[in-house]
Amino acid sequence: MKFGIILGSTREGRVSPQVGEYVKNLAATQEGHEFEIIDILDYNLPFLGTGTPNQAWNEKIDSLDGYIFITQEYNHGMSGALKNAIDSAREEWFNKAAGIVSYGSGGGIRAAEQLRLVLAEQKVAGVRTNPAFNLFTDFENFSEFKPGEHMAQGVLDMFEELITWAKALKTIR
Ligand SMILES: Cc1cc2nc3c(=O)[nH]c(=O)nc-3n(C[C@H](O)[C@H](O)[C@H](O)COP(=O)(O)O)c2cc1C
Residue 37's pLDDT is: 98
- pLDDT digit string, tens, across residues 52-95: 999 999 999 999 999 999 999 999 999 999 999 999 999 999 99
Q: What is the CATH number of the domain that holds 160?
A: 3.40.50.360
Atom of ligand 1 nearest to the CA of 77: 8
Count Cβ atoms within 10 A of the Cβ of residue 155 and give its class: 0-12 exposed, 13-18 middle, 19 or more buried. Answer: buried
Alpha-carbon gap, residue 84 to 111, rounded angstroms: 15
Task: Note the pLDDT of residue 105.
Answer: 97
Alpha carbon of 45 to those of 65, 94, 117: distances in Å? 22, 20, 22
Closest atom, ligand 1, to C-alpha of 10: 27
9: Cβ below 6 Å to ligand 1? yes
**pLDDT at 145 (0 to 100):** 98
Residue 43 carries which side chain, given as an amino acid letter?
Y
Number of domains in the chain: 1
Give per-residue pLDDT as tens, 122-171.
999 999 999 999 999 999 999 999 999 999 999 999 999 999 999 999 99
Cβ–ligand 1 distance for 73 under 6 Å, the answer yes
State whether the beta carbon of 11 lies less than 6 angstroms from ligand 1. Answer: yes
pLDDT band (50, 70, 90) for residue 109: very high
Q: Is the CB of 77 under 6 A from ligand 1?
A: no
Residue 172 CA to residue 153 CA, distance in Å, equals: 30
Output the pLDDT for position 172. Answer: 97
What is the DSSP secondary structure assignment for residue 149, as one 8-state letter? G
Q: Which domain holds residue 34?
A: 2-170
- 168 C-alpha to center of ligand 1: Å? 34
pLDDT of 126 reads: 98
For 114: left if phi > 0, alpha if psi spans -120 to 50, otherwise beta; the answer is: alpha
Are the C-beta atoms of residues 101 and 159 closer than 8 Å to each other?
A: no
Predicted pLDDT at 108: 98
Q: Which atom of ligand 1 is nearest to the CA of 14?
A: 25
- What is the model's pLDDT at position 123? 98
Q: How far is CA 51 from the centre of its chain?
A: 25
